[in-house]
Chain A
Amino acid sequence: MATTALEQELKEMIIDALELEDVTPEDIDPDEPLFVEGLGLDSIDALELGLALQKRYGITLESDAESSRQHFANLRSLAALVEARRAQ
Chain B
Amino acid sequence: MSFLELRERPWRQRATTDTVAWYPATPTRPQGWLSIAEWHLRIGAWQRLLDTFESTGQRTWLLFEPDPVEFSAALIAIWERGDEVLLPADNQPETVASLAHAGVALGAIAGAGSAGEDQPPIWGDEPLPENALSLYTSGSTGEPQRLTKRFAQLDAEMATHATLWPLAQRVVISQVSHQHIYGLFFSLLRPICEGAPFAARLCPYPETLHAWLGELQADRGVLISAPPALSRLAPAMDWSPVTTSLARIHSSGAPLPKAASDDVRQQLGTPVFEVYGSSETGGIGWRDQQHGDEWTPLPGVEVRTDDDHRLWLRSPHLDAPNAWQRQADCIALTSTGFVLEGRADRIVKIGGKRVSLTAVDRALESQPEVVRAQTLPLQRRDLRLAAIVQLSAETLPHDHATHRATVQRLRRALAARFEAQSLPRYWRFVTDWPSNAQGKLSAEIRRRLFLDLDDRRAPRWLGEHIEDGAWRLTLEVPEHCAYLDGHFDGQPVLPGVALIHWTMQAAQRLLGAETTFAGVERLRFPTLLLPGDRFEMTLEHRLKDGQQSLRVQCLGQRGEHMSGRVLLYVSDSAEDNDVG
Contact = CB atoms under 8 A, between A and B. Distances in A.
Contact of B382 (A20, A35, A40, A44): A44
Interface of B: 350-351, 380-382, 384, 400, 403-404, 407-408, 411, 415, 419-421, 423, 425-427, 452-453, 478-480, 531-532
- Which 7 pairs between the two chains have the least Cβ-Cβ distance? A42-B420, A42-B421, A44-B351, A44-B421, A44-B382, A24-B479, A22-B479
Contacts of A20: 425
Contacts of B479: 21-24
By DSSP majority rule, is chain B's interface helix, strand, loop, or mixed? mixed
Given A40-B408, A42-B351, A48-B381, A21 B420 contact: no
B351 A43 contact: yes
Nearest to A40: B411
Given A40-B411, A43-B351, A44-B351, A21 B480 contact: yes
A19 B419 contact: no
Nearest to A20: B425
Interface of A: 15, 19-24, 27, 35-36, 40-44, 48
Given A42-B419, A43-B420, A22 B408 contact: no
A15 to B, nearest CB: 7
Contacts of B408: 40
Contacts of A35: 420
Contacts of A42: 351, 419-421, 423
B453 A22 contact: no
B368 to A, nearest CB: 21
Contacts, number: 49
A3 to B, nearest CB: 11
A22 B420 contact: no
Contacts of A19: 380-381, 425, 453
Contacts of B411: 40
B427 A22 contact: yes
Nearest to B382: A44
B480 A15 contact: yes
A22 B351 CA distance: 22
A44 B385 CA distance: 13
A71 to B, nearest CB: 18
Contacts of A40: 408, 411, 420, 423
A19 B403 CA distance: 17
A40 to B, nearest CB: 6
A22 B421 contact: no
Contacts of A23: 404, 479
Contacts of A27: 404
A37 to B, nearest CB: 9
B117 to A, nearest CB: 58
Contacts of B453: 19, 21
Nearest to B397: A22
Given A21-B426, A27-B404, 4 more contacts: A22-B427, A42-B419, A42-B420, A43-B420
B566 to A, nearest CB: 28
A62 to B, nearest CB: 21
B381 A22 contact: no
